[in-house]
A and B are shown apart, each in its own frame.
Chain A
Amino acid sequence: MSDKIPINGLKLSGQLIVLYVDAQIQPPPSARLPRLCRLLAQHQINIAYLTTAGGIDSQPDLCCIDTEDLPAAIAAIEEDANLQPCVRIGESVGLITFYPHHSSLKLIGKALQALSEGGIRIHGLASSISALSVLVDFERLDRAGELLDGCFQMPVHASPYKAEFKVRQKRRPA
């Protein structure tokens, strides 16, 4: 009997860039992340993934944006004298998302085991209501997909791993 856990789908994101917001540099945690989020919103830049634990941990906040938005994000951050010292441009990454997670620790453990044994570096992970997303090096994203495909039981007619279209919000010109 296969020990593969059945899931309904697996998705690979496009290329993203990590922005790290340092926890050790002023302004304080309560101000840094809101400032960055406001800046990105003002420039119509979507946050594809974010984790912050400034109230309980000293690690940097982790924020991922689309690679296409990086030039605009850099320009905006460099103009903000308070924020610029805190933000570091990180790695090129991608998200691998699979669902449903059923709040199952076994499923998370299996995914982490497959990825770590496959030599995939894990930058972060986070659950959503029904899915689990793991942040990996973008150049290893396809390989990560293969590894998880091998340890989960996919439906017979699974939808494509990579999106066939991109959703993007733009403000209508005045």
Chain B
Amino acid sequence: METIAVYWEPVIRTYGFHLVEGQVLCQVKLEPDEIGAWSSILQSMDSGEPIFRMVWAHADQQQRIKFFLLCDDEYRHKVQICLERHTGLKTANGRTSTDPVDLVYFHGPHFGDRYGIMDYTLETLAQARVPLLAAACSVATIYLVLPAGWGPKTKTQLSTAFEIPLKKPDERTDRDT
């Protein structure tokens, strides 16, 4: 049985843009047999606090994995200590960036099921000549990693390109500004 629902929007809608500036970028290179050790390190780094803003990883054809993590600067020391303390990684190819990065992320209705969202996003960035360091599309979220200082302009540019539905007066709460 096929069900067809009609949804039309003149401008792509999103639930709003989130900007986090001055993030620490942590990169770790892992050989295939180091994933177990790295998984133990990750578990040991947990202190109950919401440490990361974004994580992603990709493997090459030899199954070596590069793992990336963005966190607030207050967690930089914690991340660095754990990387230095654990010697389970043979290659010890872990480091945190000296240059901060900005993170802009947003999500919208069925972004993970609809074509053209990332195309529209990249076109918007290109028009503003925004340099993109990294990006990820996962489930309904799009993450954009940018050089420090580019976050506010990127957020502004995207806010003019996408539609952010406003809440009706009776739906607003005291937290809305």
Contact = CB atoms under 8 A, between A and B. Distances in A.
A131 B139 contact: yes
12 contacts: A34-B119, A44-B115, A46-B112, A51-B58, A57-B66, A62-B58, A102-B50, A107-B46, A124-B56, A131-B139, A133-B139, A169-B110
Given A51-B135, A55-B132, A109-B39, A124 B115 contact: no
Q: Is the interface of B mostly helix, strand, loop or mixed?
A: mixed
Contacts, number: 178
Interface of B: 3, 6, 25, 27, 35-36, 38-46, 50-60, 63, 65-66, 68, 105, 107, 110, 112-120, 122-123, 126, 131-141, 143, 145
Interface residues of A, number: 56
B118 A128 contact: no
B35 A112 contact: yes
Contacts of B105: 129
Contacts of B118: 37, 41, 47, 50
B141 A129 contact: yes
Indicate the member of A40, A44, A106 with the most B CB atoms within 10 Å.
A106
A112 B41 CA distance: 11
A44 B114 CA distance: 8
Interface of A: 30, 33-34, 37-38, 40-41, 44-57, 59-60, 62, 97, 102-113, 116-117, 121-129, 131-133, 165, 167-169, 172
B69 to A, nearest CB: 8
A59 B42 contact: no
Given A37-B118, A47-B118, A56-B25, A127 B54 contact: yes
Contact of A113 (B36, B60, B65, B123): B36
A103 to B, nearest CB: 3
Given A112-B38, A126-B55, A53 B134 contact: yes
B27 to A, nearest CB: 8
